């Protein structure tokens, strides 16, 4: 899009963005006005000349997208939406106040924000996922703009996304690097050496343009080059100054993250003096070129019910692959992403069924997660992300921010626990349940068998918030009938009698070991009740308390996880306010070793043999 | 180091590495023989021509270091140590068996391994830290070699380290990229396009050499160029083939992570036929050029005791800075690393005291953590890593692997909880205690005031394993006398009477709110006992149970953390096996908002006002 708005108007809007940024942060007495100032012209040109969108419908899927990866410049973004009329100026003066959605960093509580930002280096993965979905699923002409800081470009996640975007030729994605030279506590490593950024981007397959980030005409032209450059993405390397047009502050250190305080009025006076036009400004916001298709991602179902035999043994990771294809058969917007583990996680089943709906993200888990969150924005797809559960820890920050972003992405972690055996500790997820439980609003599934795993996938596809499904590497026996009805937060009692003395709770492999232990003890006339929580979060508090009481207030929890944050502590939280319930918790106590599955399960005390002994001890309590 | 060993001997050693890799993985019936094969010549040249080390003393600090970042090639590394005589061949045939330290991926259970690898993309940060410490602290001529896979180079963490190493001109670090073209489930994005790797490395400031990775003379020469190139690091981009010299398997897909099975004998026959020399081979392993200084990193003490007034208010992050300088004054090997947050975490205090002992890692938390672990290897330094606690989630995988690596690195996370106020959810750590509790062998400190924070820093400096200190942004009042003696795992009762009815447990800000609430209730003749756990892990189980019993079996825990994995669940685990203890747990229930510190504490129910109400409810239980 070439120049459609008078450049002086664009300059004045940039100045007004600066004024509002200063006013709002000074009113809040905190925030990052100098960070806002360096990007004022970029925002002015994007929002009032280049981007195609509809102010009244800020999340219209047909529109161009903007991701402010450097989230601490939030007031500048808010100011742009004040200028175009969506946000009221008086609200911006409540910046950072409790109850005001114009928070310190952007979140989707605001109707013009797709994702939460503020943990640096994450926005470009979001843009990558948006660009991929727009190009390959919506197949429309919408463009995605992502603005990052120069200090932020040190984050490795940025380079994962840079590689991903060029590998998939996402020419609808434009990156803008705000090279203002100054980090929080000292200058960046590259300073204003713009050609170094250019060389790095070019080596990663990008078209890279060095541009004066305070020159609106140059920006318009560069964005036009970006829009017309095909088969490779374009980056604008914008030379800017932190605190631009703040006399005495511009380009100076020690002004990061500080409201201007007693300098406020002096700076505002200078800025107001720069305005050439007063009152209502005349600008053109181009309309979207194409219309995004309507999509329906509700009520997703398995195309056929689970079809297993009781007692049949197979790995839940395998039934994940089966279920993924089944929901993909029933809804064309189901997609999967993986980090070069598809032949271990069985996500390759979807690639075999419909290669267009599988996104290979290679060994780059942070971009993997971010791209999924980006693709799922504006409810365009239902995304499943899989890899070894241990490697999802690589993206904990992205997952954490995913909750702030109100994402509905589903995660599947395979190769959990010591039960993977020979590969050893580095590949064993033993903290994954704890990690996903700590995500606000999350649902954590821990299917015991193939039937429950298929239903977990189906439920996850339809559940809001982040869902996590923990799947096993070794086979587990089918314990549910194919027609069993599962619910989130509803436990199932797999074994019970009128005379149970202990309630056993396990998950996946340990549930199976517990069933074997209970069978052994039954021969000694010791009755054990076995409960499968199905979801660790929310956990079925009512069922646990009721069944525990019926078992003399005795619970044994055995889990293939470290002792902290997992199933055991979920059970403890459920019974915290109950007096008279005894809980024995068994978990993996230290960094484990390689060995066979059966060998390590036994060595770390998780096998049926050990569970028999724990149960005999617990029933004396 | 030019050629010192007959090249045919180097070729034969490479073949013997292949033979041992095949034999051991076939004996284990699992593992990655094709991955081993592509690096056989690189290992042969490094271990039998180029690297300076002493076989009998594999962790001699004077020696060159080798980091196998692509840890799944472990059998090839083990085979090199069989060849040089440290490891017995018969032990290698027990690969991956329970009890054998030759595990699926390398760990420091082996005396020739510095760090655990197997989660890809982490080794180069380790090498960066080693190289930095060798060059700047030990000031010796030892070199550091790090071997990564080509698929692995997609990890952003690699690019963080590449930038770090060139920024600090660590010319003693040599990176080798094993470009074998094949990932786990499909070819890599760049295939054998070696010049693309070269261009990327050069753009990041490296000297990059494309080399035939199966030609021992070419490798010797390239390593010599690396050793003699000053002021910039060198990377060898080695063109290799996966499954090299395995006829019918070399360069073929679908052979990742598979023992050769029925192909074993055929391949071994071919490999044995390649050997030109039989029996004992004659080689030269060069000795280290310089001797590393002896260092003492034990019994580190604050140079002067805490010096505060009771009731004085200051942020624990500030006392972290004070304590860091004090222990640095008493021991020259204390260092600090930060990710451009030093003016917020107060680690800049050390930079001001002694700039040489502060390492700025910029906004790249994965390399920050990895470099600290690398620097601390072989007990060369005591390292403290600080940033916002929320951003430590970015390096969860590195921290997880740090436990496998038996690291003693200390972490300090500032800006925890909603109490940071205005910046909003993206900057609030609300899952950090859960994350660090789930690390095996970790110690988690949660100091309530300046005195306890200084002692936490001192204790952490001397404690094995990973230590985490959670520090607050807002000021908290000094509640301990300057001469108070603190112990890990020992709680302190801050308020008690003969007639306490509820035990209150809090941490940091909520402990202070609890004290205020208890003071209010005391006026109503309701006595509350207040306990400061000091360490959340290990938690003082004995004190909690004893004090809870003395308070009618009633506990209230209030924490500035999400409900999962934090202080509340630590307390629940401590009392799990006690009947007749009621626990009420209050935490931040959802993604929080921006606001003032007092405002958000109150909004999320963590303020003294709310705690009064909880206490009144709990004492009815």
A278 has pLDDT over 90:
no
Q: Give the pair of three-digit tokens for residue A383.
A: 């995304």
Q: Are B363 and A120 within 8 A, CB to CB?
A: yes
Confidence bin at A35 (pLDDT 50/70/90): very high
> Residues of B with catalytic annotation?
365
Q: Are B203 and A183 within 8 A, CB to CB?
A: no
B551: left (phi over 0), alpha (psi -120 to 50) or beta: alpha
Instruction: Spell out which residues of chain A touch residue B99, defining contact as CB-CB under 8 Å.
Output: 593, 595
Instruction: Spell out which residues of chain B touch residue A119, defining contact as CB-CB under 8 Å.
Output: 390-391, 394, 426-427
Instruction: Spell out which residues of chain B touch residue A105, defining contact as CB-CB under 8 Å.
Output: 423-427
pLDDT of residue A280: 87
Burial of A225: CB neighbours in 10 Å, binned 0-12, 13-18, 19+: middle
Q: Are B593 and A105 within 8 A, CB to CB?
A: no
CA-to-CA distance for B584 and B238, rounded, in angstroms? Answer: 60
Q: Are B105 and A366 within 8 A, CB to CB?
A: no
Average pLDDT in chain B: 97
CA-to-CA distance for A218 and A552, rounded, in angstroms? Answer: 77
Instruction: Spell out which residues of chain A touch residue B423, defining contact as CB-CB under 8 Å.
Output: 30, 104-105, 118
Kindly identify which residue of chain B lies nearest to residue A186, measuring between CA atoms. Answer: B340
Reported as a single tens digit per residue, the pLDDT across B55-103 is 999 999 999 999 999 999 999 999 999 999 999 999 999 999 999 999 9
Reported as a single tens digit per residue, the pLDDT across B585-607 is 999 999 999 999 999 999 999 99
Reported as a single tens digit per residue, the pLDDT across B352-374 is 999 999 999 999 999 999 999 99
| Region B169-186 average pLDDT | 97
Instruction: Spell out which residues of chain A touch residue B185, defining contact as CB-CB under 8 Å.
Output: 338, 340-344, 348, 360
- B452–chain A nearest CA distance, Å: 25
Instruction: Spell out which residues of chain B touch residue A367, defining contact as CB-CB under 8 Å.
Output: 156
- A613–chain B nearest CA distance, Å: 16
pLDDT of residue A290: 96
Q: Are B424 and A105 within 8 A, CB to CB?
A: yes
- B460–chain A nearest CA distance, Å: 20
Best mutation target, A117, A438, A541, to test chain B (most B CBs within 10 A): A438
Q: Are B341 and A184 within 8 A, CB to CB?
A: yes
Q: Are B424 and A118 within 8 A, CB to CB?
A: yes
Q: What is the DSSP letter of B137?
A: I
Domain boundaries along the sequence of chain A: 7-274, 313-477, 492-618
Instruction: Spell out which residues of chain B touch residue A593, defining contact as CB-CB under 8 Å.
Output: 98-99, 103, 109
Reported as a single tens digit per residue, the pLDDT across A312-362 is 999 999 999 999 999 999 999 999 999 999 999 999 999 999 999 999 999
User: Is the CATH number 1.10.760.10 carried by domain B492-618?
Assistant: no
DSSP track, B503-539: EEEE-THHHHHHHHHHHHHHHTT--EEEEE-SEEES-
B278 has pLDDT over 90:
no
Superfamily of domain A7-274: Thiamin diphosphate (ThDP)-binding fold, Pyr/PP domains (3.40.50.970)
Kindly identify which residue of chain A lies nearest to residue B538, measuring between CA atoms. Answer: A564
Best mutation target, B91, B349, B363, B419, to test chain A (most A CBs within 10 A): B363
Instruction: Spell out which residues of chain B touch residue A394, defining contact as CB-CB under 8 Å.
Output: 119, 396-397
CA-to-CA distance for B384 and B351, rounded, in angstroms? Answer: 13
Best mutation target, A364, A402, A464, A607, to test chain B (most B CBs within 10 A): A364
Q: Give the pair of three-digit tokens for residue B365.
A: 């938390």
| Region A420-433 average pLDDT | 97
Q: Are A107 and B400 within 8 A, CB to CB?
A: no
Burial of B464: CB neighbours in 10 Å, binned 0-12, 13-18, 19+: exposed
Q: Are A340 and B183 within 8 A, CB to CB?
A: yes
- CATH fold group of domain A313-477: Rossmann fold (3.40.50)
Instruction: Spell out which residues of chain B touch residue A157, defining contact as CB-CB under 8 Å.
Output: 156
Reported as a single tens digit per residue, the pLDDT across A234-261 is 999 999 999 999 999 999 999 999 999 9
Reported as a single tens digit per residue, the pLDDT across A482-536 is 999 999 999 999 999 999 999 999 999 999 999 999 999 999 999 999 999 999 9
Closest residue by Cα to residue B42 from B293, B280, B244, B184: B244
- Alpha-carbon distances, residue A198 vs A192, A193, B166 (angstroms): 12, 9, 17
The DSSP H or E segment spanning B369 is helix B365-376
- B152–chain A nearest CA distance, Å: 6
A1 has pLDDT over 90:
no
CA-to-CA distance for B95 and B101, rounded, in angstroms? Answer: 8
pLDDT of residue B279: 83
Q: Exactly one of A160, A365, A431, A513 is catalytic; name it.
A: A365
CA-to-CA distance for B356 and B359, rounded, in angstroms? Answer: 8
Kindly identify which residue of chain A lies nearest to residue B116, measuring between CA atoms. Answer: A426
Kindly identify which residue of chain A lies nearest to residue B402, measuring between CA atoms. Answer: A426
- A81–chain B nearest CA distance, Å: 20
Q: What ipTM was estimated for this complex?
A: 0.98
The percent of residues above 70 in pLDDT, for chain B, comes to 100
Instruction: Spell out which residues of chain A touch residue B151, defining contact as CB-CB under 8 Å.
Output: 340, 362-363
- Alpha-carbon distances, residue B202 vs A45, A237, A411, B190 (angstroms): 34, 19, 37, 16
Q: What is the DSSP letter of B248?
A: T
A100 has pLDDT over 90:
yes
CA angle B71, A385, B256 (to 5 degrees): 35
Cβ atoms within 10 Å of A294's Cβ, excluding its own: 6
Between chain A and chain B, the number of residue pairs with CB atoms below 8 A apart is: 347
Give φ, ψ of A238 to 5 degrees.
-95, 115
- With contact defined as beta carbons under 8 Å apart, do A380 and A407 qualify? no
CB-nearest to B167 from A189, A562, A581 is A189
B428: left (phi over 0), alpha (psi -120 to 50) or beta: beta
Instruction: Spell out which residues of chain B touch residue A199, defining contact as CB-CB under 8 Å.
Output: 203
HSE, side-chain direction, 13 A CA sphere, residue B549: 8
Q: Are B98 and A585 within 8 A, CB to CB?
A: no
Best mutation target, A159, A164, A190, A537, to test chain B (most B CBs within 10 A): A159
Reported as a single tens digit per residue, the pLDDT across B130-154 is 999 999 999 999 999 999 999 999 9
Q: Are A396 and B394 within 8 A, CB to CB?
A: yes
- B103–chain A nearest CA distance, Å: 5
Reported as a single tens digit per residue, the pLDDT across B380-417 is 999 999 999 999 999 999 999 999 999 999 999 999 99
- B424–chain A nearest CA distance, Å: 5
- Buried b / exposed e across A353-368, counting CB within 10 Å, b at 16+? eeeebbbbbbbbbbbb
Q: Are B423 and A118 within 8 A, CB to CB?
A: yes
CB-nearest to A362 from B100, B151, B439 is B151
- B558–chain A nearest CA distance, Å: 14
Best mutation target, A35, A98, A180, A606, to test chain B (most B CBs within 10 A): A98
CB-nearest to A186 from B105, B360, B364 is B360
- A181–chain B nearest CA distance, Å: 13
Q: Are A119 and B426 within 8 A, CB to CB?
A: yes
CA-to-CA distance for A559 and A553, rounded, in angstroms? Answer: 20
| Region A61-76 average pLDDT | 98
Reported as a single tens digit per residue, the pLDDT across A122-169 is 999 999 999 999 999 999 999 999 999 999 999 999 999 999 999 999
Altogether, the residues listed in chain B come to a count of 621
Q: Are B394 and A391 within 8 A, CB to CB?
A: no
Kindly identify which residue of chain A lies nearest to residue B404, measuring between CA atoms. Answer: A591
Q: Cα-atom radius of gyration of chain B, to the nearest Å?
A: 27
A443-445/A467-470 β-pairing: parallel
In sequence order, the β-bridge partners of residue B468 are B411, B444
pLDDT of residue A543: 98
pLDDT of residue B1: 80
Q: Give the pair of three-digit tokens for residue B593.
A: 């908002």
| Region B39-50 average pLDDT | 98
């Amino acid at each position: 899009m070439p120049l459609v708005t008078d450049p002086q108007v664009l300059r004045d809007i940039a100045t007004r963005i600066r004024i509002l940024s200063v006013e709002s942060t000074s009113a809040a007495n905190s925030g990052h006005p100098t960070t806002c100032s360096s990007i004022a012209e970029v925002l002015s040109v994007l929002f009032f000349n280049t981007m195609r969108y509809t102010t009244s419908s800020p999340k219209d899927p047909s529109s161009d997208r903007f991701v402010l990866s450097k989230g601490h410049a939030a007031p500048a973004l808010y100011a742009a939406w004040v200028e175009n009329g969506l946000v009221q100026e008086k609200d911006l003066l409540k910046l950072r106040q409790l109850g005001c959605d114009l928070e310190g960093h952007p979140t989707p509580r605001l109707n013009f924000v797709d994702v939460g930002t503020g943990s640096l280096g994450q926005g470009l993965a979001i843009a990558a996922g948006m660009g991929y979905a727009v190009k390959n699923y919506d197949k429309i002409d919408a463009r995605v703009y992502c603005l990052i800081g120069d200090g932020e470009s040190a984050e490795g996640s940025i380079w994962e996304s840079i590689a991903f975007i060029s590998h998939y030729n996402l020419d609808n994605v434009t990156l803008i690097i705000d090279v203002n030279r100054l980090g929080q506590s000292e200058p960046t490593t590259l300073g204003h050496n713009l050609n170094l950024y250019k060389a790095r981007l070019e080596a990663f397959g990008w078209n890279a343009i060095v541009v004066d980030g305070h020159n609106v005409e140059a920006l318009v032209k560069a964005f036009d080059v970006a829009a017309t450059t095909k088969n490779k993405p374009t980056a604008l390397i914008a030379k800017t100054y932190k605190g631009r047009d703040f006399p005495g502050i511009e380009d100076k250190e020690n002004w990061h993250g500080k409201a201007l305080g007693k300098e406020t009025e002096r700076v505002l006076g200078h800025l107001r003096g720069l305005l050439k036009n007063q009152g209502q400004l005349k600008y053109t916001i181009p309309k979207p070129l194409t219309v995004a298709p309507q999509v329906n991602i509700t009520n997703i179902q398995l195309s056929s019910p689970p079809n297993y035999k009781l007692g049949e043994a197979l790995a839940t990771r395998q039934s994940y692959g089966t279920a993924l294809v089944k929901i993909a058969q029933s809804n064309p917007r189901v997609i999967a992403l993986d980090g070069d583990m598809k032949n271990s996680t069985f996500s390759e089943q979807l690639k075999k069924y419909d290669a267009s709906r599988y996104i290979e993200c290679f060994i780059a888990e942070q971009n993997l997660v971010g791209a999924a969150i980006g693709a799922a924005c504006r409810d365009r797809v239902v995304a499943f992300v899989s890899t070894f559960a241990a490697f999802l820890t690589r993206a904990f920050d992205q997952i954490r921010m995913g909750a702030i972003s109100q994402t509905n992405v589903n995660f599947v972690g395979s190769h959990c626990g010591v039960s993977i055996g020979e590969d050893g500790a580095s590949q064993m997820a033993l903290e994954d349940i704890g990690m996903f439980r700590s995500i606000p609003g999350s649902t954590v599934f821990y299917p015991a068998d193939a039937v429950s795993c298929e239903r977990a996938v189906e439920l996850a596809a339809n559940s809001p918030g982040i869902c996590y499904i923990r799947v096993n590497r070794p086979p587990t026996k089918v314990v549910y009938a194919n027609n069993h009805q599962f619910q989130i937060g509803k436990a199932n009692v797999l074994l019970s009698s009128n005379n149970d003395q202990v309630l056993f709770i396990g998950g996946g492999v340990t549930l199976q070991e517990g069933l074997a232990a209970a069978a052994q003890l039954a021969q000694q006339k010791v009755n054990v009740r076995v409960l499968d929580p199905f979801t660790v979060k929310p956990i079925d508090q009512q069922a646990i308390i009721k069944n525990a009481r019926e078992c003399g207030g005795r619970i044994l929890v055995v889990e293939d996880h470290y002792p902290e944050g997992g199933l055991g502590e979920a059970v403890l939280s459920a019974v915290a306010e109950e007096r008279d319930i005894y809980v024995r918790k068994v978990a993996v106590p230290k960094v484990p070793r390689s060995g066979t599955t059966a060998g390590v399960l036994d060595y770390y005390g998780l096998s049926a043999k050990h569970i028999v002994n724990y149960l005999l001890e617990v029933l004396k309590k």
